[in-house]
Structure 1
Amino acid sequence: MKKIKLLTVAAASLLASAAIAQQTAPTTTPGSSTMPPAATAAPPATFIGMQTADQIMASDLIGMSVRGAGDESIGEINDVVLARDGRVIGAVIGVGGFLGIGEKSVAVPFQMVEMVRGPNTTDHVVIRKTKDELKAAPEFKEREAPSATNTTRTPAQPAPAAR
């Protein structure tokens, strides 16, 4: 019995000393240029203090006019598609129609969207596609959220058998 306790204490001591050795920072000698990992790590993300000139607000992007490769008017941005992790996936553009009637929604990857800002022009978006190419593209359909009447629920436990 004493042997088991002694082996347990010895094993715990070895594990604890290995853990402590891994946690200590490496030491540097006076002529060495090696810095501890904590000093070279990037600072954690914090808050954004101000919008920069190369950034645009989503509220300004939605409704912005879209111009094609030949500087023709294509439509306007109706929405933006985001991934759960915050990445911007695409822009939903309303194409065709008149005053929203007969308009078709087409989504393009956000890499295709070029934002144009300048003192001599109003802010707009350019994509390197023609109006005809976007009209021929498949219509973008939003995912439908399940409705309360559309969901089926399974009971947590089956009903007791009748006697």
Structure 2
Amino acid sequence: MDHTNHVRLTNAELTPSVLEDATIYGPDDEKIGWVDHMHGSQVVIDVGGFLGIGAKPVAVSANQLDFMRDEDGDVHAVTRWTKDQLKSMPEHHD
């Protein structure tokens, strides 16, 4: 997916209702997870699993993700982390 024409979200748009279920893309443009929820200034990403089953929740700072909208208005994010790097992070517990 070419992200160059996608519109970056403003800080005011980084809200739970906007970010929930946003797809997360890794450095090779691979789908590596999705936003489960926000926990303060952190975004909890579900990584791995299949259809939400067996996914590992990990928390990262929202400013470590580049959130944007595509041509259809769908919100997604790009990160420098790979799926394996996210899976190696400590599991997030609310």
**More strand by proportion, 1 or 2?**
2
Q: CA distance change for structure 1 residues 121 and 67 in 2, over 3 Å: closer, same or farther? A: farther
Shift of 1:136: 1.1
**TM-score with structure 1 setting the length:** 0.47
**More helix by proportion, 1 or 2?**
1
| C-alpha contact (below 8 Å) 2:18/2:75 kept by paired residues | no
Shift of 1:113: 1.3
SS in 1 for 2:18: helix
Higher RCO structure, 1 or 2 (CA under 8 Å, sep 6+): 2
Q: Where do residues 1-163 of structure 1 align in structure 2 (5 Å cutoff)? A: 54=10, 55-56=12-13, 57-82=15-40, 89-119=41-71, 122-142=74-94
- For residues 101-135 of structure 1, the C-alpha deviation after alignment (integer angstroms, 9 at most, x for no partner) is 11100001112011122427742111110001011
Unaligned runs of 5+ in 2: 1-8
Q: Between Structure 1 and Structure 2, whose CA radius of gyration is higher?
A: 1
CA-based RMSD of the aligned residues comes to 1.8
CA distance in 1, matches of 2:26, 2:90: 18
Aligned partner of 2:84: which letter? D
SS in 1 for 2:81: coil
**TM-score with structure 2 setting the length:** 0.78
Identical aligned residues as a percent: 38
Matched length = 84
Q: Runs (4+) of structure 1 moved beyond 6 Å?
A: none
Unaligned runs of 5+ in 1: 1-52, 83-88, 143-163
